[in-house]
Amino acid sequence: MIQATKNYFHFLWRCGRIAFVGDWRYYAWMGILSVVILLGINAYAKQFVHGLMVTGMSDQVSWGVYIANFTFIVGVAAAAAMLVIPVYIYDNKELHDLVIFGELLAVAAILMCLAFVTVDLGRPDRFWHLIPGIGKFNFPGSMLSWDVIVLNGYLLLNVHICGYLLYCRYQGRTPSKWFYIPFVFLAIGWAISIHTVTAFLYVGLGGRPFWNASIVGPRFLASAFTAGPAIIILALQVIRHVTDYRISDKALLTLRSIVQVSMLINVFLLFNEVFKEFYTRTSHVAASNYLYFGLHGFHALVPWIWTAILFNLVAMFILVLPMSKSLKYLNVACVLAIVGIWIEKGMGLVVPGFIPSPLGEMVEYTPSLNETLVCLGIWAFGLLAYTLFLRMSIPILQGRITKRNEGESDDHLFAAGQKSDQTTTPHVATTHI
């Protein structure tokens, strides 16, 4: 037991060392992210001292860009299931060696979610109330308590799966299926639950008719299963470009099929929601009028939502056409889908729910510079975390960092994870997952 513990800590030590070694591109990228993170920390320090008054939020609009980003990124985390399902249920060989990249993205995304929730708290020192057994958790009556459970549970599931598989690969042994396969299938259901519970946070607020629709949950899942795999498609191409890890075009096109179907469903559900809002013309349509056309001279979100709709429609048409089989056009569609869904699920969902207020007040919301810097800092933190995860995992998956070569000099092994200029065929890793 003692020796096993020493072996595991040595494994973590080697992972930590490789995270700090790379070429000039790696150092430049990490340096830029670190600067943005520091700017975000400085902005949050000002918010911590002066309170939420430094943000654009108010008594009337109490959720802003923090919760907007949180809502979007929960979907990115849930989208890891779109890699897991084809591999473990349909035995897709093309995605077999790539599923761990999606799960690592889920870990980074959940860390960002927790960060966005934290910065949205006006009194973060009272966060202990959300800790079961210590604070006033109010379970199961509060949807927020459910959200705490599903987010942290999903984080632990993915950390366990990724950590166990990478450690087994490092040791050169086949993973015990009983020790991770049940958690894989549990994570699939859990991925759906985290975004469904997030949707219920909105739907359960009876005083906000803009969110009171049973279609919100399915819309959340459809948009998540569009934007998440789209981000993974772009990330895998970056990995293929900067390392010698082989990722086939066929694997990327398999993910394209997922994005294609999910985008069609997402747009269909959007039109269903628009029909429900405007056809009946009830008094509850005020928030939708404000969002799509403006209300009483207030129209700050109108250009945002129509931009999102345009991006989503263009992305949908590109995806359904054969041209999207070309990575050039597929990348354009992915970027449009990501930006469009971020606007739609962020500013287009959160803010209109507060305008007008239940008393009929029209108070518009615009993120402050301080708020924007905090958001950029958290995004940079998430990208830095994902970069570190990939930097540590790829050499292990390729078999370059193993227990067998512990006694060798690590310098050339660490450098081996970079893009090779040699003409030899790149090593194809077998992850045994």
Distance between CA atoms of residues 240 and 251, nearest Å:
12
Q: Which two tokens stand for residue 254?
A: 């398999």
Q: Among 355, 377, 379, which residue's Cα sits nearest to residue 366? A: 355
In a domain, 168, yes or no: yes
Q: Is 364 a residue whose pLDDT tops 50?
A: yes
In a domain, 275, yes or no: no
pLDDT at 5: 80
Rounded to the nearest 10 degrees, what angle do helices 65-78 and 99-120 cross at? 160
CATH of the domain at 402: 1.20.1630
Q: Is 368 a residue whose pLDDT tops 90?
A: yes
Q: Is 418 a residue whose pLDDT tops 70?
A: no
Do residues 371 and 116 lie in contact, with contact meaning Cβ atoms separated by under 8 Å?
no
Q: Where are the alpha helices (DSSP H) in 172-215?
A: 177-203
Q: Which two tokens stand for residue 159?
A: 């950390």
Q: Which two tokens stand for residue 72?
A: 């979007």
In a domain, 312, yes or no: no
Residue with tokens 């970079």: 418
Mean pLDDT in residue range 304-318? 95
Domain that holds residue 9: 2-257+371-412
pLDDT tens-place string over residues 157-193? 989 988 888 888 888 888 888 888 888 888 888 888 8
Phi, psi values for residue 286, rounded to 5°: -60, -45
**DSSP code for 321:** S
**DSSP code for 420:** P
Choice between 339 and 129, residue whose per-residue pLDDT is larger: 339
Contacts with 363 (C-beta within 8 Å, 6 or more apart), sequence order: 58, 60, 61, 354, 355, 357
Sequence-distant contacts of 252-255: CB under 8 A, at least 24 apart: 252/327, 252/330, 253/325, 253/330, 254/86, 254/92, 254/94, 254/95, 255/82, 255/83, 255/95, 255/229
pLDDT tens-place string over residues 137-152? 777 778 888 888 888 8
In a domain, 333, yes or no: no
In a domain, 209, yes or no: yes
pLDDT at 21: 83
How many domains does one find in the chain?
Answer: 1
pLDDT tens-place string over residues 64-90? 999 999 999 998 888 877 777 777 776
Distance between CA atoms of residues 307 and 191, nearest Å:
29
Phi, psi values for residue 295, rounded to 5°: -145, 125
Q: What is the dihedral of CA 332, 335, 339, 344, to 10 degrees?
A: 70
Rounded to the nearest 10 degrees, what angle do helices 81-88 and 249-279 cross at? 120
Distance between CA atoms of residues 401 and 425, nearest Å:
19
In a domain, 280, yes or no: no
Q: What angle do CA 187, 244, 21 make, to 5 degrees?
A: 85
What's the pLDDT band for 412 if we cut at 50, 70, 90? Answer: low
Q: Among 403, 421, 427, which residue's Cα sits nearest to residue 23? A: 421
In a domain, 430, yes or no: no
In a domain, 297, yes or no: no
Q: From residue 266, how far is each of 226, 259, 363 by CA, in Å?
A: 8, 10, 30
Q: Which two tokens stand for residue 198?
A: 């997030």
Do residues 64 and 371 lie in contact, with contact meaning Cβ atoms separated by under 8 Å?
yes
Q: Which range, 241-245, 273-277, 311-315, has the best average confidence (pLDDT)?
A: 311-315
Please state, rounded to an integer, the average pLDDT across all residues of the chain. 85
Do residues 75 and 337 lie in contact, with contact meaning Cβ atoms separated by under 8 Å?
no
Contacts with 414 (C-beta within 8 Å, 6 or more apart), sequence order: 17, 18, 21, 395, 401
